[in-house]
Amino acid sequence: MPKSPKYLLIGSTETYSGKSATVLGLSHQLQQKGLDIAYGKPLGTCLNSSSGTVIEEDVQFIAHSLNLPENRVAPTMLALDELNVQKRLRGEDKTNYQQSLLQQYSQMLPGDLVLLEGPGDLSEGSLFDLSLLQVAEVLDAGVLLVARYKSLLSIEALLAAKERMGDRLIGVVINDIPVAELKAVDTVLRPFLEQRDIPVLGMLPNSDLLKSVSVGELVKQLKADVLCRNDRLDLLVESLAIGAMNVNSAVKYFRKRRNMAVVTGGDRVEIQQAALETSTQCLILTGQLPPPPFILSRAEELEIPILSVDLDTLTTVEIVDRTFGQVRLHEPIKVQYIRQLMVEHFDIDRLLSKLGLTPATALS
C-alpha cells in the first residue's frame, strides 16, 4: 500500500508577499534533494479556461518549470471570482469544499511531499471554508508563512499569525528585506521570533529583478498598440519614470534611473529623445499622437519598444504602478534568480527536519 504524502502549505500574511517565488525556489531544492514532490493551488485567482478545462496559470507555470508529470499536479478546486462569491452568498453554492478538498487531494497525489500554495492572506477563502488554517487542518498540513518586510513592525503580523496557527506554523520566510536592513533583521527580529517558537527559515533580500515586469505584460495591462520592436517585449522594466518636466530636468532624472518605462505625451518629442538615450526599456506615449519618424527610427536602432495608449498620463501611471504591485515570475531569468536566492538564504535542511522527511541522495 502506498505511503501517504506529507502536506506543506505555503501561506502569507498579505497578498503579493512572494508565495509563488518561495514555492518555485523551495520545490527546486526539494527535487535536488531527491524528494518526490507534487504541487497544487486549491483556490485559484488567475484562471485560464481556453483549453476547455480550468487551469490556474501559476500552477501551469510552476508545474512546467519543475517538469512535474500530471499525477503530481493537483487540481484547482475553485476560482475566487465575483461570480463564485455571489453564488455562495445567495446560497446557490452549498458545496462542502473541505470534504471535496480531502477527497481530491488525499487520494490523487502520491509522492513524499505535496506543496500547496495557500490563499492571499490568512482570511481569504473563509467564505468557502478554505482559509489557510482551515485547509491546513483538513489536510493535517504544516504551514510555511511568507511575510514581506516593511519595517521591524512587520513582526506584529507574524506574532498574530502564530497565535492563530499555533503548532501548524512550522516556520516563516521574511521576504524583500532591503540590504541595509538585513543585519537588523538577523540580529534583532530573528532572535525575537525564534524565542517565541517561530522558526525563521529564510531571509530574502529585496531584488529589483524580481519586482520587474516585462514590456509584454505592460502591453497587456494597458491594452497598448506596439509601434515598433514588437520582438523585444521580453525586456524587463524595473522602474517607472514620468516625462512631464522640461528636457534638462528630464535628462538628469533619467540618468539616475535604470531599466525604465517612460510615460510621456505623444507630443513631447524632446522628452522621447532624451529617454531613448538613457536606460529605457520602453516608451509609453499617451494621447494617441504618433511620434515623428526619426524617433521611431532611433527606437528601432536601439531595440526599444514604443507603446501607444488611448489613456491620459495619470491613468497610465496608475495601471503601470498596479502592475508592478502584482508582479509575476513567468520569465526564465527570474526563475533562475529565485532558485539561487533560496539556495543562499533558505535553510532547507531545517525545514526537512521539521517535516520529518529524510532526503534521498542529492541529485547531481
Contact (CB, 8 A) for 356 and 215:
no
Q: Name the residue with cell 525586456.
A: 235
At residue 285, the 3 state secondary structure works out as: strand
pLDDT tens figures, 53-106:
455 677 788 888 888 888 788 878 888 888 989 999 999 989 898 888 888 777
Distance, CA of 137 to CA of 172 (rounded, Å): 18
Distance, CA of 134 to CA of 182 (rounded, Å): 33
Amino acid of residue 302: L
Any idea what the Cα angle at residue 142 is, between residues 81 and 162, rounded to 5°?
85
Q: Taking residues 297-306, report their average pLDDT.
A: 92
CB atoms within 10 A of CB 45: 16
Please report which confidence band the pLDDT of residue 51 belongs to, taking 50, 70 and 90 as the band edges: very low
Alpha helices (runs of H) in 287-331, residue ranges in sequence order: 293-302, 313-325
- Indicate the pTM of the whole model: 0.77
pLDDT tens figures, 277-291:
888 999 999 887 888
Distance, CA of 332 to CA of 106 (rounded, Å): 32
Please report which confidence band the pLDDT of residue 363 belongs to, taking 50, 70 and 90 as the band edges: very low
Beta strands 225-228 and 306-309: pairing type? antiparallel
Please report which confidence band the pLDDT of residue 159 belongs to, taking 50, 70 and 90 as the band edges: very high
At residue 361, the 3 state secondary structure works out as: coil
Q: Taking residues 263-284, report their average pLDDT.
A: 87
Contact (CB, 8 A) for 41 and 78:
no
pLDDT tens figures, 196-209:
999 999 999 988 77
> Is the per-residue pLDDT at 361 higher than 70?
no
